[in-house]
Amino acid sequence: MRKRNRPSGLIHRAMRLAAIVGLSSLPLMYACSDRDYATQSTLTTAAHTEHRELFPVHINRPAGPPRIDTGMLDDFGRPVTVSCMSCHTTQAPNFATRSGDELLHFHQGLHFAHGGLSCLSCHNPENYNTLRLADGSTLEYPNVMNLCAQCHTKQANDYAHGAHGGMNGYWDLSRGPRTRLNCIDCHDPHAPAFPHMRPTFKPRDRFLAPPHRGEH
Amino acid sequence: MAESKTISLPVLGDVSRRTALKAVGATLGAAAFAKAISPLSQLKDRVSMQEFLQKHYKELTHEDKTAIFARLEAETKQQYGADVTIQDHPPIPGVRFGYAINLSVCNGNGKCVEACHKENNHDRATNQSYIRVFEMPRGTMDMEQGNSTYDHAVPAEDKFYLPVQCFQCENPPCVSVCPVEATWQESDGIVVVDYNWCIGCRYCQAACPYHARRFNWKQAEIPAEEVNPNQGYLSNRIRPQGTTEKCHFCLHRTREGRMPACLEACPTGARIFGNMLDPESEIRWVLKNKRVFVLKEELGTKPTLFYFFD
């Protein structure tokens, strides 16, 4: 997550000034035009945002450990789900398991395509209601992004700088909040490759053959 | 010797031939003039006197704008049956917008195209949109080799997808060719169009090397319930027939601090938007850390929409 909260008071102003001086002396990333946007406008920005509180960036998180569908329905027709620990307190962990298809009960249909990982690369054999990092420490489900970031460092770095993953809301946090998705909103952790999609909306250009079928 | 007789027309009495011809000429002239200006009499059904006399956007006072926006809102209500709010969104001081698209992530699903279509009140029949997504063969950036009408599961093998919209060039060729200054660049970099000042000559469309401008060949048809009621005078209000239009980075949203509609709709997170003058912004991080490029750099247009692979 980006750190947008800046130190306040004198330090703030000093940093701002440094930023202004720094920016005006640096060649901009994109080709500079004749107009001197950089210096002039950064000054305005500083004055503009100085007294404003920044709105929060909300990052989607899973609420907690998932519930497992038993395949049964209760008296009201609702599916019966159970906690991971309902079974895993009595089942001995098997570190060799790499796919749901190897199991006799539960998880059979689980499609797994995530490198050479085994179930217990990420799930915690000591407490199945949590996850486990590579160093053996426990990780709660809502913090699952830390788990992904162990291997996918490049994506995690991009994410930390707002250059990976979908978002909604305000680009200007001084005017409103922002909501960001987390890794497993888009990537199924068991088969993380982004799925193929079918384009649903195509232009109907006047000079191309297919669009006008049946219309004229 | 025969007495010479003056020739006179029976109706006009004792008038010389010269005067008579003058009178005939004047009558014919007046008739021709009346015929020549006759389209103006038909004009009044479609164009009000206020609209006919409306000044250039930059010359409008606050009161002018209030009156014009009210008139346009009423016209939209009359023509489309939709209650809309048209506002003036001035650029935010100290902001210069930048946009970046991650082509490694974009899979060509076209949700951005659809979001633009809905957000900007485009004609429903033609699926008009400011964005075109080209399916491109790998190894080229030549737009001519792209295809925007692909219709299969994406991403396809050995293809990449190139969304193209207005790049809000720093050196916009479309602006310099406009004979009536109906299009110009604002301080945040967005190139806007005063649709009421545009005469529809389409010079700008020809000048744009990215095919980013669209021409309203007909008045947009949109069902009342689908009209986006949050409209900007320089952005997504329903454009009159015979005018040019283009992507404006959703200025009615972005000048309120919000993200463009295409970014919010992107299911792959390929789009990054922000203020290039803010050193801490996401777009600045991308420009600094990714190998960004622009289309047709050699033309010197200096686009402010960047692409990158990672």
pLDDT per 10-residue tile (average), chain A, 216 residues: 48 52 42 40 45 87 90 90 89 87 83 91 94 96 96 96 95 96 94 93 68 47
Partner A contacted by B284 (CB < 8 A): yes
List the single residue in B110, B268, B272 with the smallest CB-CB distance to A163: B272
* Contact indicator for A179, A168 with CB cutoff of 8 Å: yes
pLDDT of B20 reads 86
Is A19 close to B93, i.e. CB distance below 8 A?
no
pLDDT of A120 reads 93
Residues 118-157 of A with CB under 8 A from B: 154
Average pLDDT of B240-255? 96
Give one word for B257, left, alpha or beta, with left for phi > 0 and alpha for psi -120 to 50.
Answer: left
pLDDT of B249 reads 97
**Which residues make Cβ contacts (< 8 Å) with residue A123, sequence separation at least 6?**
A131, A132
What is the residue whose two structure tokens read 């919209």? B165
Partner A contacted by B109 (CB < 8 A): yes
Quick one: which H or E segment has residue B307? strand B305-308
| CA distances, B122 to each of A111, B220, B233 (Å) | 42, 6, 15
Which residue is closest to A162 within chain B, CA to CA? B282
Spell out where B149-296 has E strands: 159-164, 183-185, 191-193, 214-215, 230-232, 244-245, 271-275
Partner A contacted by B250 (CB < 8 A): no
Residues 29-58 of B with CB under 8 A from A: none
| CA distances, B220 to each of A202, A212, B65, B100, B129 (Å) | 17, 17, 23, 30, 12
pLDDT for residue B44 is more than 90: no
- Cα–Cα distance, A62 to A139 (Å, whole number): 13
For residue B214, what are its two tokens? 């669209």
Residues of B in contact with A194 (CB under 8 A): 107, 268
pLDDT of A14 reads 53
Supply the DSSP symbol for B7. Answer: -
Residues 59-88 of A with CB under 8 A from B: none
- Cα–Cα distance, A147 to A132 (Å, whole number): 8
Q: Residue B17: pLDDT band by 50, 70, 90 thresholds?
A: confident
Give this prediction's pTM. 0.79
Among candidates A193, A189, A67, which has minimal Cα distance to A117? A189
**Which residues make Cβ contacts (< 8 Å) with residue A135, sequence separation at least 6?**
none
Range among A202-206, B50-54, B303-307 rated most confident? B303-307
Is A171 close to B288, i.e. CB distance below 8 A?
no
B182-198 pLDDT, tens digit per residue, is 999 999 999 999 999 99
pLDDT of A148 reads 96
Phi, psi of A102 (to 5 degrees): -80, -10
* Contact indicator for B184, B191 with CB cutoff of 8 Å: yes
* Contact indicator for A24, A17 with CB cutoff of 8 Å: no
Residue B136: how many other CB atoms lie within 10 Å = 19
Average pLDDT of B164-185? 97
Is A197 close to B109, i.e. CB distance below 8 A?
yes
- Cα–Cα distance, A10 to B262 (Å, whole number): 40
Asked if ipTM goes beyond 0.90, one says no
Return the percentage of chain B with pLDDT > 90, whole number: 84
Spell out where chain A has E strands: 57-59, 68-73, 79-82, 131-132, 138-139, 167-169, 178-180
For residue B84, what are its two tokens? 């809309």
Residues of A in contact with B149 (CB under 8 A): 202-203, 205, 208, 210-211
List the single residue in A29, A204, A211 with the smallest CB-CB distance to B287: A29
CA-based R_g, chain B, Å: 27
List the single residue in B98, B117, B150 with the smallest CB-CB distance to A201: B117
Average pLDDT of B11-24? 80
Comparing B9-23, B108-122, B223-237, B245-259, the range with the smallest average pLDDT is B9-23
For residue B243, what are its two tokens? 């005018």
pLDDT of B216 reads 94
Instruction: State the nearest Cα–Cα gap between B177 and chain A, in angstroms.
Output: 19
Instruction: State the nearest Cα–Cα gap between B154 and chain A, in angstroms.
Output: 5
Instruction: State the nearest Cα–Cα gap between B242 and chain A, in angstroms.
Output: 16
Q: Residue B6: pLDDT band by 50, 70, 90 thresholds?
A: low
Is B277 close to A38, i.e. CB distance below 8 A?
yes
Please report how many Cα atoms fall inside a 13 Å half-sphere around the Cα of residue A81, on the Cβ side.
Answer: 8
